[in-house]
Amino acid sequence: MPWYGSHPYLNEFIRENNCRKILEIGVYNGENARSMVQAAIKNAPPHEVEYHGFDFFSHHSASRVGRKLDDTGCRYKLIEGDTMDTLPEAVKTLPLMDLIFIDGGKSFREAVSDWENSSLLMHDGTGVFVHNVGFSGVGRMVDEISRDDYHVEIFYAPAEGSVALIKKK
């Protein structure tokens, strides 16, 4: 399916901003994870690149995804379970991230939970990309993000649909 896998705008942001700490919510088969890490290691030694991936890992197991990341030499953690449970716990200890890709559950409740937890991991330069803004629950969540506190840019990615890029003001 064209909307699974690598997304050029993520790799571009990673290269332009020297991103080393990457969080992906919704990992699926790990192809996008590998692609983002490969973009990051163009600017940094692999052991300085950290990838954190959250998913149920029910169709593609964490060990299978892990083997793809092992090949890159990066540091990584794959956290299994529903992000409505795992993320609120994880944000207590995760470092601030350079890039966050929200691409997990598409319901309004899941999207709000994923965004609110992600927002706790932003520094001034963090880019948070939200996939599938055309889905009603995801779109409503993006509409409700405070424009006083965040820049929200929505752009169209060919063969994928609308994506939001959120940055702190």
Ligand X SMILES: C[S@@+](CC[C@H](N)C(=O)[O-])C[C@H]1O[C@@H](n2cnc3c(N)ncnc32)[C@H](O)[C@@H]1O
Q: Which is nearer to ligand X, 50 or 110 (CB)?
A: 110
Q: Taking Cα atoms as reference points, which of 48, 85, 83, 53 lies closest to residue 66?
A: 53
Q: DSSP per residue over 25-72, as a string?
A: E--TTSHHHHHHHHHHTTTS-GGG-EEEEEE--SSS-HHHHHHHHHTT
Closest distance to ligand X from the beta carbon of 83 (Å): 4
Q: How many other β-carbons are positioned within 10 Å of the β-carbon of residue 149? A: 11
Phi/psi zone of residue 4: left (φ > 0), alpha (ψ -120 to 50 degrees), beta?
beta
Only one residue has tokens 């779109």, namely 139
Report how far apart the first and last C-alpha atoms of the chain are (Å, whole number): 35
Task: Report, in Å, the least distance between residue 84 CB and ligand X.
Answer: 6
Nearer to ligand X, 41 or 138 (CB): 138
- What is the smallest separation between the CB atom of 61 and ligand X, expressed in angstroms? 11
| Nearest distance from C-beta of residue 6 to ligand X, angstroms | 7
Which strand ranges, in their side-by-side order, compose the sheet holding 21-25?
75-80, 50-55, 21-25, 97-102, 122-130, 161-168, 150-157
Name which of 69 and 147 has its Cβ closer to ligand X.
69
CB of 159: closest distance to ligand X in angstroms?
13
Q: Where along the sequence are the contacts to ligand X (CB under 6 A)?
A: 4-5, 24, 26-28, 31-32, 54-56, 82-84, 103-105, 110
* Of 47 and 91, CB closest to ligand X: 91
Nearer to ligand X, 71 or 169 (CB): 71
